[in-house]
Amino acid sequence: MKGFDLLAILLNPGFSAMLLHGIGMTFVIAIGSWVLAMSLGILLLAVRLLPLGHIGSRIAEGVVAAYISYHRNVPTLVQLMLWYFGISSLFPDAMQEWLSDHSGEAIFAIVGLGLCQAAYFSEDLRSGLRSVSPGQEEAARALGHGYVGTMRFVLMPQAFRNALPALVNHTVSLFKNSSLAMAIGVAELTHAVKEVESESFRTFETYLIATILYLACSLLMMAAGAALSRRATLAGAR
Amino acid sequence: MLQGAISIISENWLLLLVGQYPNGPLGGIAATLMLSVLGIVLAFPLSVLIALARISRWRLLRAPATALVYLVRGVPLLMIIFWVYFLFPLLLGANVPGFATMVCTLVIYEGAFLSEVVRAGIQSLPAGQMDAARALGHSYPRAMRYVILPQALYNMLPAILSQFISTIKETTLGYVINVPELTFAASQINNRLLTKPFEVFLILALTYYVVCFGLTAAATWLERRIATRRAGPGAAPLAIMETAG
């Protein structure tokens, strides 16, 4: 084994470019799937809350519950593999070709991770909404807000505040899960690490750099989440 | 499509169930379950120790335990697998098979996550429990051992069970270092057939779904039962429904 030398990786333009490109891709995947997951999570919750009548809302409830149950009980890696190897094979040939020309693996990673995490976000928001006391809704309605206004201005802000710690935790795990995209060939940070490692033979240094990068991002997110929660509690206490 | 799926199952059910065993290493669902059970069983004592260190009065115990928990929580499981895969053979000076690598990784990872569960369980008990035990003359370790931990762990059983379900889902990452478990078996089948990827991975997903959904249902049942017992015989059933909701 060669002596410990971090700079041999960091100062090598090839290796540092690969790692930088990797972390960029990790952020693209994480942010893309976060946006998808949050929008879909809110949409799923909205579908559950829609006044669709007795039978309509039972069907909507069943569909959303099945969606959430599937995405929470099947491993994320398996969901990604099903998208990338399985579902993509059902697409028409022209679309498959377009996808393989336009880094389809990254698109599938964003879609797979986003759809999976939407289930968690939706459940977080739902339990956040459930812990808002019923008096809030009655008061808002009594003050003349319609259904949408009550949701938009009174209930959802409180639901988000209640759900904040869980949402932050799941955001961190979404960021960490972006590493699973390497298994379907996305050139994100973990993938770049394996490449740099096999070219430089400096396993320890390469892993150390990647670990520090991941850890720094996760801790920053946790700290930001804690700061947000503190502000939200203060605002609530006023 | 359904016919394709049925023929895949009828031709490969043994591979999906036990892998190449007895002619090769144990694989399939059997290996997945064994990995998860070993992982959580070995992680449990470690997690209690980490939790006790994290709530200790001595900084010398508290600081490293806290650092370990944050380190593991902040790094993807895949990175930890690579670290173990790389470091353990170096430290032990011997070859470590993939199965053992995966078990070690799970013990570290689950140990840290489970320790947060155990810590929450200990801290959610009323402070009076510890005070009463100390007032009765128990030392701190004895009060922990005989009064606090039994109650905390009982209350935490559903959370421990859902950690077990996460562990089952995490064993899939063994696929990346070629540990012969369920996902690995499915990708072997897929590589052999080449023409039915959708069916193969759908079967894989549904298999995980059945196992994890069953356990989730068990966790919910357990949670309800514990809530009933905690509420005591006098409590109205209404209180149970609220917690189970």
Rg, Å, chain B Cα set? 22
- Cβ contact, residue pair B78, A211, below 8 Å: no
User: What value does the mean pLDDT of chain B take?
Assistant: 90
pLDDT (0 to 100) of residue B143: 95
pLDDT (0 to 100) of residue B244: 41
pLDDT for residue B80 is more than 90 = yes
Residues 83-142 of A with CB under 8 A from B: 85-87, 89-90, 130
- Cβ contact, residue pair A190, B198, below 8 Å: no
Residues recorded for chain B: 245
Pull the structure tokens for residue B44. Answer: 């449990």
What SS3 state is found at A201? coil
pLDDT (0 to 100) of residue A236: 56
Closest Cα in chain B to A71: B209
pLDDT (0 to 100) of residue A7: 86
Q: A69 in contact with B at a CB cutoff of 8 Å?
A: yes
Integer CA distances (angstroms), B235 to A5, B231, B240, in order:
65, 6, 9
- Cβ contact, residue pair B205, A82, below 8 Å: yes
Q: Nearest by CB to B198, which of A69, A89, A219?
A: A89
CA A179 to chain centre: 12
pLDDT (0 to 100) of residue A1: 53
- Report the alpha-carbon distance of residue B195 to residue A119 in Å, rounded: 31
B196: CB partners within 8 A, 6+ apart: B4, B5, B8, B190
All residues of chain A having their beta carbon less than 8 Å from the beta carbon of residue B197 are: 85-86, 89
pLDDT (0 to 100) of residue A49: 87
pLDDT (0 to 100) of residue A103: 83
Nearest to A177 by CA among A233, A120, A236, A137: A120
A223 half-sphere exposure, CB direction, 13 A CA radius: 7
**What is the average per-residue pLDDT within A7-12?**
85
CA distance B162 to chain A (A): 11
- Report the alpha-carbon distance of residue A88 to residue A97 in Å, rounded: 11
Chain A contact probe: residue of B209, B211, B212, B242 with most A CBs at under 10 A: B209
Q: Which of A194-198, A207-211, B10-14 has the lowest mean pLDDT?
A: B10-14
pLDDT for residue B63 is more than 90 = yes
Q: B229 in contact with A at a CB cutoff of 8 Å?
A: no
* pLDDT tens digit sequence for B158-176: 999 999 999 999 999 999 9
CA distance B166 to chain A (A): 8
pLDDT (0 to 100) of residue A164: 93
- Cβ contact, residue pair A86, B202, below 8 Å: yes
Helix residue ranges, H only, A85-133: 93-101, 104-130
Q: State the burial class of residue A205 (Cβ atoms within 10 Å of its Cβ: 0-12, 13-18, 19+).
A: buried
> Which domains are seen in chain A, by residue range?
7-237 (1.10.3720.10)
* pLDDT tens digit sequence for B186-241: 999 999 988 899 999 999 999 999 999 999 999 999 989 988 888 876 555 544 44
- Cβ contact, residue pair A214, B205, below 8 Å: no
pLDDT for residue A75 is more than 60 = yes
More confident residue, B231 or A188: A188
- Cβ contact, residue pair B190, A211, below 8 Å: no
Q: B185 in contact with A at a CB cutoff of 8 Å?
A: no
- Cβ contact, residue pair B197, A89, below 8 Å: yes
Greatest alpha-carbon pair distance for chain A in Å reads 74
**What is the average per-residue pLDDT within B42-64?**
95
User: What value does the mean pLDDT of chain A take?
Assistant: 91
B191 half-sphere exposure, CB direction, 13 A CA radius: 6
Pull the structure tokens for residue A66. Answer: 């099945």
pLDDT for residue B118 is more than 50 = yes
Q: How many CB atoms lie within 10 A of CB B130?
A: 17
Q: Which of A14-18, B91-95, B201-205, B229-233 has the lowest mean pLDDT?
A: B229-233
- Where residue A19 falls among pLDDT bands split at 50, 70, 90? very high
> Which domains are seen in chain B, by residue range?
2-17+26-244 (1.10.3720.10)
For chains A and B, what is the number of CB pairs under 8 angstroms?
A: 111
Q: pTM of this prediction?
A: 0.89
Residues 14-43 of A with CB under 8 A from B: none
Chain B contact probe: residue of A74, A195, A200 with most B CBs at under 10 A: A74
What is the ipTM, given to two decimal places? Answer: 0.89
pLDDT (0 to 100) of residue B59: 94
Number of helices followed by number of strands (H, E) in chain A: 11, 0
